[in-house]
Structure 1
């Protein structure tokens, strides 16, 4: 496995004071088609109880994956879903979405999850929004003979002689996302064809090129080489991200990612004028 570069995540807050670990690149395209990876991990509800009250998006896709605990999603399209441990959720926001993501009231085991932003090509940024989740759909997974298990969250994967098709199939940039967990001193090998290949390591250690790589960082890989994953005696958990760079101009302001300042100004005006709509009040009743 040839690691080209590594990017450490940093601590920040978002939403209503939620503590998160973040990796973001809205200017140089190092992660293209990916824009941002947020990891929320805490056993202290004070770190996340404020959640993410209603807010807009335009021009991006959000991909959420929960390992522990849960969040309740609500949007102006009428979707109200409890996204819980093991679930995936995808929003292709297109021309506009308003949504909220709030910790579930009965969550007492802490919270660990991710939200990944992907850029949308200019030709699709103003199409109608799309929504999909896996609350009623099992995610395919397979464990090899050397202590590694792959969960196909999105896109198609070849792993240990098996073909796994993730339930989310239309990510921007032909992106694919998998969750790979490897036992202590275990290993996995994958041959990948996409131009961008990255690993976000969220637990344990990986050993590569004579070095140990620890959690909360993104490793960019040489996509022309086979990916050989080897763990130390801690084991490891990671998100494997692949895709095809979009290679378009990015202009970013808060929840909006467009291709020009004029489009950003239009997004702000549309939101402030109420053209994004509102989360239906009937959906907010408990």
Structure 2
């Protein structure tokens, strides 16, 4: 077994999207090879309705998949295919935009006015860029949760983990998407397929991730449960941890425990031409997508 090295640990950056939704972006719109097959990750979390209720009005997507995971509040959605629905707390929607879709996402707070969710963008390979759009809406009750003897809890949204399989399937990047909660003071190791790119996103509590190859000057050596570990400083709320190659990661939970998303996927390793909500392989394909938007042929007939 080999612990994955930590390539980078950084806070998510405040930004604004849609019609004025305040959120934090962990990555996106920079180097698309960094976490290939994933392009963008947003944490939309607010206590004030005026910071999110204008939502994400009608906008196009082509060539990608969007994964929306709601923790608090609701997100109402509608699209150009006539689909409508509402995601509630714990629900997931995996949308394959494929050849093109127009949709809107309108968040609403819970009884206290709070809204919290995540959106991840996954790239599509060239062979699937123009596939028919589709949705997978999954209710919270249908997402399996496994609990280990030490109290560690994992919601398995996509992929196989600890004998359970997530309900979302048929995704191009063959990803694993886990919502992990580790109790206070517990050290826990998680297996990840060696050939996947992987990242963790801490959104509650604190945890220190073990680094396989500690560079000078930025690591601490601490004794935990009788072992000498090279660990990063504690990662807290809204922290991205990007891992290198290996087949497992280890986290030491802080005094309040730690909750994070652990996401991995098989890299596509193809050229990326990206502008706004449209991601293709070449500049000409990108230009064609915008010509289609202008001349009304963006939405392709479904057979």
Q: TM-score if structure 1 supplies the norm length?
A: 0.90
User: 8 Å contact 1:74–1:80 — kept in the other structure?
Assistant: yes
Matched, 1:170 2:170: yes
Structure 1 spans left out of the alignment, 5+ residues? 279-286
Q: 1:71 aligns with which of 68, 71, 75?
A: 75
Question: Which of 26-35 and 219-228 deviates more?
Answer: 219-228
Could you say which residue in structure 2 is the equivalent of 1:232? 254
Matched, 1:4 2:7: yes
Could you say which residue in structure 1 is the equivalent of 2:218? none
User: 8 Å contact 1:202–1:238 — kept in the other structure?
Assistant: yes
User: 8 Å contact 2:73–2:88 — kept in the other structure?
Assistant: yes
Shift of 1:104: 3.5
**2-structure distance, mates of 1:188, 1:40:** 27
Could you say which residue in structure 2 is the equivalent of 1:247? 269
Question: Which of 98-107 and 51-60 deviates more?
Answer: 98-107
Shift of 1:215: 2.4
Could you say which residue in structure 1 is the equivalent of 2:122? 118
Q: Secondary structure at the match of 1:147?
A: coil
Shift of 1:273: 1.9
Q: Secondary structure at the match of 1:90?
A: strand
Q: 1:14 aligns with which of 3, 12, 17?
A: 17
1:42-53 aligned within 5 A: 42-53=46-57
Q: Secondary structure at the match of 1:271?
A: helix
Q: TM-score if structure 2 supplies the norm length?
A: 0.85
Q: Deviations over 1:173-222 (max 9, x none)?
A: 21121111122223332222142121111122111333212222221224
**2-structure distance, mates of 1:60, 1:221:** 23
Shift of 1:97: 0.8
Could you say which residue in structure 1 is the equivalent of 2:204? 203
User: 8 Å contact 1:148–1:187 — kept in the other structure?
Assistant: no
Q: 1:135 aligns with which of 98, 122, 139?
A: 139
Q: Secondary structure at the match of 1:36?
A: strand
Shift of 1:17: 0.3
**1-structure distance, mates of 2:113, 2:147:** 26
Matched, 1:261 2:283: yes
**2-structure distance, mates of 1:246, 1:186:** 35
In our comparison, the structure showing a higher alpha carbon Rg is 2
**2-structure distance, mates of 1:237, 1:267:** 39
Q: Deviations over 1:87-116 (max 9, x none)?
A: 000011101011100023775441000000
Structure 2 spans left out of the alignment, 5+ residues? 210-229
Shift of 1:235: 1.4
Q: How many residues align?
A: 274
